[in-house]
Structure 1
Amino acid sequence: MRKLLLIGAASIALGGSAMAVASQTPRSETFRMLELFGDVLAIVERAYVVEVDNTDLIQAALRGMMTALDPHSSYMAPEDFDNLRERTEGSYSGVGLEITSENGLVKVISPMDGGPAARADVQPGDVISAIEGQSAAGLTVSQVSERLRGAAGTDVTVTFMRDGEEPREVVLTREVIRVDSVTGRMEGEFAYIRVATFNENTGRELNTVMAELKAENPNIQGYVLDLRNNGGGLLTAAIAVSDAFLERGEIVSQRGRTPEQIERYAAQAGDLADGLPIAVLINYGSASASEIVAGALQDHERATLVGLTSFGKGSVQTVLPLREGRDGALSITTARYYTPSGQSIQKIGIEPDLEVARTAAEARIVSRSSFIYSEAAYSNALDSSIGAERRGAHTPREAPGEDHPEDEDYQLQRALDVLRAGGNLAQLAAAPETVVVTLPEPEETIRVAETGPED
């Protein structure tokens, strides 16, 4: 069975080749601790108040071992591994959520476009506090996913908590989530391309959508590439999307423990946008594969980034089937990835060229960095390796006024303004409705939360 190579904020990430990593613990001490594990298992089996299933205990121990490493290393039981492969193939039955865990709290990374959760206004960073009236505290991502999935047409009641608001109970009707990775439409003279996730179909879908838009609109003047709330996916898809807009040069590199573990990915000749200006929309729900694309286009000065600083998921995971998947799989961090200029994204994120909050309320969230859900909030996140830190609380450069209609996408409006200015920010006029929101004094660095996500 082939390895599954993924990148994403929910501990499904990318990988190169499996590698045997020698233990730093002396062999005798390792054997002693393994013997201790066996002793504890035997005591539990013999003395616990009710009969236990050793398979469940050992799987729980494996999960604990992996989560002791970093937030994105994990053990997947066989059924979880099957679910992972199903999601990357582009369809499944559920409520349409990408989730992660933060020390006993399961949080939303991103709702999937057009799914039941997205239609119910579930947002990145929302906490799932209960499912069918039963507390979700302490449940793993796999356990929550299992409760959320089910036959199409059935209902599940989920309670969500959001910073500064009362808990909200929502009834979601499960449906077959067919993820259209790429969709497109025209916004006046500009083409709008939405990439919702990076799966096996993304590269092909991007080519198809762009070809259709060109055929129907031969005078396209530029492109908006929307990566907001895109939590990641396949490395190959991220490379394909980046390559679609680049003629040459490095797209991304990944670097492991030793110099021999460096892999570089380069663009091939051919720009689907024919050199026209590109504006890329990102926000703090844009993670991993999205950051690879945004970082590559920004470093090559091929696109102008508009929105908010991205999530900051810059570590590399390799998914390794155990006994061909019969015993599940490991998702283990093996490297960090870097933009073409050599910048690590891990815990830092990609900063936009034009910082724009979608709403005044979102601007206030940016002003209170502890409210921003990002890789830097993980208590055991891998460091950036370059000594840099994510920008702390601050006033965004732009935000719409309080009376700006919610159904009008202010970030998209500003991206279109960037294209009208030919991508030249110096020539970009201020939008009439732009306001500077009065916010608290900024913090110097981001406040790291007391707890952090795991899987």
Structure 2
Amino acid sequence: MLTSLDPHSAYLNPKNSKDMDIQTRGEFGGLGLEVSMESGWVKVVSPIDDTPAYRAGMQPGDFITHLDGEPVQGLSLSEAVDRMRGPPNTDIKLTVRRGGVDTPFDVKLTRAVIKVQTVKVQVHGEIGYIRISQFSATTNDDLKRLMAQIKKDIGKTPTGFVIDLRNNPGGLLDQAVGISDAFLDKGEIVSTRSRRPEDTQRFNARSGDIAEGLPLVVLINDGSASASEIVAGALQDHKRAVIMGTRSSGKGSVQTLIPLPGHGSMRLTTARYYTPSGRSIQAVGIEPDIKVTQSKIEPIAGAERERRSEASLRKALPNPNGGKNADKDKEQKDRDQKEREQKEKDKAAATPLPTQPAAPGAKPEAPAPIKLGDPAQDYQLARALDLLRGLSVYRPAAR
């Protein structure tokens, strides 16, 4: 029955249901991957910061085809996740397919108890950098505490703030609303709408801006999903922040967890969410105001990782808006299809150069990851810092 529903609806057995509850509270055991299921393979939505998966260089859009040599085809998402979890300090081998890399490669990970610090901060000169890796129960409180620390460390009025939502798979709706509210002084943040108009919910900002009106740049990419897109969409619609990076995932649906007898639960898509201007970003995503690709993230010169998003998921919900957004949805699908066809043609036409044969049994190695948050390696962050420094020239003098 569930196979006919959208890819975010699933049955959770008692163990998986308990694990999900633990995860939203910010501590759980496993590898540190937010995943979905597509075409029978496990798809990485994003790795969570400072976890085994993150340190191993797993990327949004990676497909896991085998777990310890056993194919994931035929497993449900819950079964695959259950196999990836396990006692701390035990190993598991993932076989990964990645766009732009011709052959699958193996990644060996050691399971750990993952304590997620969802908000981290740095200071770059007079600019505060705020990294939000997901939205758990403590995210809003952590932001307020660490914002005070940034201001103390800078010692004077900051030039502005970078809010980094890249590879943030989402999380709790109330936390996304709280983070948006922290930077907005008034206006609607998001609305959720189901089939019945009377069930529509609207969330509005309260007076007070934790950044005191200072310039904001929000970084997003195709690993920014759900709650991340709520924040980016709200700040973009109110022109409170410049959105920079690449188009987000496009997960504009709301899931409700329904408890079942026996301590299991059913996760069902029950509504869509809309930005303050009335946009649904389902299968379309948030378009950045300034597009900046991560130039150093690709391991092969000239190769472009195939973009995978909410729209590419099997049976993904369509965008309900007419007009511009619906056209964008169709145009993007057409572009994605043309890109895939062209890459297949290029691959078929290419004549490989002779190479030194690998040692018997050798496996391709996973490409080295880029370190997000380090301007020396992180091109998108470096451009965000440049933008804020430029905007500071036009900032009115403090009163």
Q: Give the TM-score normalised by the residue count of structure 1.
A: 0.73
Aligned AA (1:374): S
1:197-216 alignment, distance < 5 Å: 197-216=134-153
1:171 aligned partner:
108
1:103 is displaced (CA, Å) by: 2.4
- Compared CA separation, residues 164 and 373, structure 1 to 2 (3 A): same
Q: Secondary structure at the match of 1:236?
A: helix
Contact 2:298 2:304 (8 Å CA) reproduced: no
Kept in 2: contact 1:279–1:423 (CA 8 A): no
1:373 aligns with 2:308: yes
Matched, 1:422 2:384: no
CA offsets 1:160-207 (integer angstroms, 9 cap, x no match): 111232211121111111100100010111000000000001001001
Question: What's the secondary structure of 2:391's corresponding residue?
Answer: coil
CA distance in 2, matches of 1:368, 1:212: 39
Q: Distance in 2 between matches of 1:98 and 1:249?
A: 31
8 A contact 2:221–2:248 mirrored in 1: yes
* Partner SS for 1:305: strand
Match of residue 248, structure 1, among 186, 201, 205: 186
**Correspondences of 1:41-56 after superposition (within 5 Å):** none
Which residue of 2 is the match for residue 292 of structure 1?
Answer: 230
1:340 alignment partner, SS class: coil
Asked whether 1:322 is paired with 2:290, we answer no
Match of 1:229 in 2: 167
> 2: distance between equivalents of 1:365 and 1:73?
38
Q: Deviations over 1:83-123 (max 9, x none)?
A: 11011111112111111101211111111101111111111
Please give the alpha-carbon distance, in whole angstroms, between the structure 2 residues aligned to 1:230 and 1:293.
11
- The separation in 1 between residues aligned to 2:120 and 2:320, in whole angstroms, is 36
| Pair 116,409 (structure 1): closer, same or farther in 2 beyond 3 Å | same
> 1:110-125 counterparts in 2 under 5 A?
110-125=46-61
- 8 Å contact from structure 2 (residues 8, 255) kept in 1: yes
Counterpart residue number, 1:151: 87
* Cα displacement (A) at 1:249: 0.5
User: Cα deviation per residue 1:54-73 (whole Å; 9 max; x = unaligned)?
Assistant: xxxxxxxxxxx123121112
Residue 257 of structure 1, aligned match among 190, 195, 198: 195
How many residues are paired up?
348
What RMSD in Å do the two structures reach over aligned CA positions?
2.3
Q: Structure 2: 5+ residue runs without aligned partners?
A: 337-369, 395-399
Structure 1 spans left out of the alignment, 5+ residues: 1-64, 395-404, 426-455
1:77 corresponds to 2:13:
yes
Distance 2:197 2:302 in 1: 38
1:413 lines up with 2:348 in the alignment: no
- 1:188 — aligned with what? 125
Amino acid at match of 1:218: G
Please report how far the alpha carbon of residue 422 of structure 1 lies from its aligned counterpart in structure 2 after TM superposition.
1.9
Rounded to whole Å, the distance in 2 between the matches of 1:187 and 1:123 is 26
Alpha-carbon separation, structure 1, partners of 2:311 and 2:161: 31
Structure 2 distance, partners of 1:358, 1:124, is 13
Q: CA deviation at 1:368?
A: 7.3
Contact 2:159 2:392 in 1 (8 A): no
Amino acid paired to 2:193? R
Distance 2:215 2:302 in 1: 28
Map of 1:384 onto structure 2: 319
| Aligned CA distance change for structure 1 residues 363 and 283 (closer, same or farther; 3 Å) | farther
1:448 aligns with: none
Q: Secondary structure at the match of 1:331?
A: strand
SS at 2:152's partner residue?
helix
Q: 340, 343, 347: which one pairs with 2:279? A: 343
Q: Tell me the distance in 2 between the aligned counterparts of 1:366 and 1:207.
A: 42
- Distance in 1, matches of 2:300 and 2:309, equals 16
Q: Which of residues 115, 119, 142 is equivalent to 2:78?
A: 142
Q: Secondary structure at the match of 1:379?
A: coil
Amino acid at match of 2:111: R
- Is it true that 1:104 corresponds to 2:46 in the alignment? no
Which of 1 and 2 has greater Rg? 1
Match of 1:87 among 7, 23, 30: 23
Give the superposition deviation at 1:361: 6.5
Aligned mates of 1:421, 1:312 — CA distance in 2: 30
Q: When the two structures are superposed, what TM-score results if normalisation uses the length of structure 2?
A: 0.83
Identical counterparts, % of pairs: 49
